[in-house]
Structure 1
Amino acid sequence: MKLAHRPDIDVDAVAALVGAVRDPELDLPLDALGMLGDVTPRRGGRIEVTVRLTTVSCPLRDRIRTDVAAAARRAAPGAEPVVEFEVMSETERRATAEQFFDGRTTVGARGAKSVVAVASGKGGVGKSSLAANLAVAAAAQGKRVGLIDADVWGYSIPQIFGVTTPPVAMYETMLPVQAHGVRLMSLGFLVEEEEPIVWRGPMLHKALTQFVEEVHWGELDLLLLDLPPGTGDVTLSVLELLPEASLLVVTTPQQAARTVATRVGAMARNSNIAVTGVVENMSGMVCGACGEHTPLFGSGGGAILAEALDAPLLAQVPFDISLREAGDRGVPVMAADPTSPAARAYAELARELRPARRSLVGRSLPITPL
């Protein structure tokens, strides 16, 4: 880093404040990451600050520009900051990564305080939309949230969040994509939008293992997983990778959805996995003009399933046209219309969500004889 001095600007003070700006992905100071470049006063009251990015397609470039400019203004009142970007070389990026991942930070998702897998017995019940909006709601309530799109054949999280930027690779790890305060990882970021995934079980297991173990998630209060419908290999692989996970089961009021969702609960019991609760999606529609509630798909399915699984019915999310409209625009309804009926239900679900404790039945305990 080169500091060019001019009497009326304390360049050292500018460098100190700008260097303390935290990278929004890694949550570490720019200076510590080797991302602070030259700080150079220019004519006309301008001060130029160069930030060195790890990739030319950095998705949070605008956020970094705003934060760096604000720091420069605080250090040099009256100066007009100009933020420029340059990209690290492969050698520089590797050196930064080796310095960063030296044991001071945990790579992988196993350190998350709570892990909740969102499951359903069949497709078409709104499971992915619920997982996405639950993640945004929890982030809006101050939690550090990650979301893994484990629905590998029907991945839709990139579309729901409206992001196509691939994750940034650093050294032997990846940085999750960020949107609406949530850290995201999906196969949809790594393949073309309409490219089908025709992988067999071992390849899918390897990909999911990388998402869990080789992504730098950082500190997480809540990790959500959007599971594929049903009880197949992928679901079992995810729950083996994250044995501390509990299930949040999504259904609709219809009997068919409730019946197949019961099978997910049976799988959970057989696998010694706790069910943290049930959500009834598409739980009727409220007329915006008169307030009348119409049970479009029947009623009571969520409560019956919750009783069968011996788990609480945590939320009943209404059928809401704003949910569809926001999804078509690539924005979760929690961000697009947080006062809509569906968004209010998601926010309440985020407040009520309490991961269940996994049963100790059938598990060996580390008991040492006296």
Structure 2
Amino acid sequence: MTGPSEDIVPFRISIPAATVADVRVRLRRTRWPEPETVGDWSQGTRRSFLRELCRYWLEEYDWRAAEARLNRFPQFTVEIDGLPIHFVHVRSPHPDAVPLVLTHGWPGSVTEFHKVIGPLTDPVAFGGSPADGFHVVCPTLPGFGFSGKPSGPGWGAERIADAWNRLMNRLGYPRYGAQGGDWGARITMALGRRHPGNVIGIHLNMVPFPVPENTDDLTEADRAALAALARHRAQGSAYAAVMATQPQSIGYGLTDSPAGLAAWIVDKFEAWSDCAGDPGSVFTDDELLDNILMYWVPATGASSARIYWESFAGATGDEGPVPVPTGCSIFPADIYRPTRRLAEPQFPGLRYWNELDKGGHFAALEQPATFVSEIRAAFRQFR
């Protein structure tokens, strides 16, 4: 009897014609609610924006061009801990390049990194130095995209971090760097906590931070950061509460309705990006829909939501300081914007800190050149 295969298998995304035909039927049959009663996004995704995006998806979106975009970097699958894991892997032409695992979150995907993979792996071709080269690995979270869907509980951030460590070792990278935002930030932090002997350093473009017990000596900037966190928790975290408690219930609608899925995802691309209420000013329709496709085609509405149930409702308590060298880039429109003083207790190895003047939660997609320069600057401190 043989055990599970650890073979790395080349993978290409192939969207069946029947899938294209089906989504078009569903879009034509969308039953739209009345418009919001306000002139902004405060009640959720604006109907006018969503109707135009869905019209483009139905009438103009080029599915085969999208398929080619999604396949423009080498992709693979490998079984880890009983689950197929999909990942992008691009090696640098520079022999001294640092292996780097980039981790996305929800409602993102590996498509977020498509603008930065080239500059990270081949800096010379983009006007940089060969000393800044990285071998880039972008895994897809379990239950997301074309990774496998867990059939039982237990796939929270800590277990995913363990799987990423096995993946990097399986690829021949016993020492590597890690980078992430959103769930990618929490998984990257877990990598630093659980595998400090393997991780040379981490970079975060979203920085979770605890509320300090003693608030007597807080600065004005500290208090502003805590107030912003409190506003997010009070007014902007209903999605997380739903997915942390009823991922299966919300999953039916996200799997059945392309307009519903698009509304649920685009809501966060507006709320968390540096777009001043107009996500179309930052993201193209193709960028939004290429990412939505990574949820629609493999039907991951419920399975992707479960990471909230696993990591919030089923938290293991594996928290505390991250011992490895750390770099943090704070983008002004992100949902967590701590001061360095608030973040430092979690990162005793903090070596790089920068507060940017433009960009938000989806930094690699919104501000790719800045994102790349921030990673380079941080890892110059770790190499």
Instruction: Using structure 1 for the length normalisation, give the TM-score.
Output: 0.33
Structure with the largest fraction of strand: 1
Q: Whose RCO is larger (CA < 8 A, sep 6+)?
A: 2
Report which of the two structures shows the higher radius of gyration computed on alpha carbons: 1
Instruction: Using structure 2 for the length normalisation, give the TM-score.
Output: 0.32
Structure with the largest fraction of helix: 2
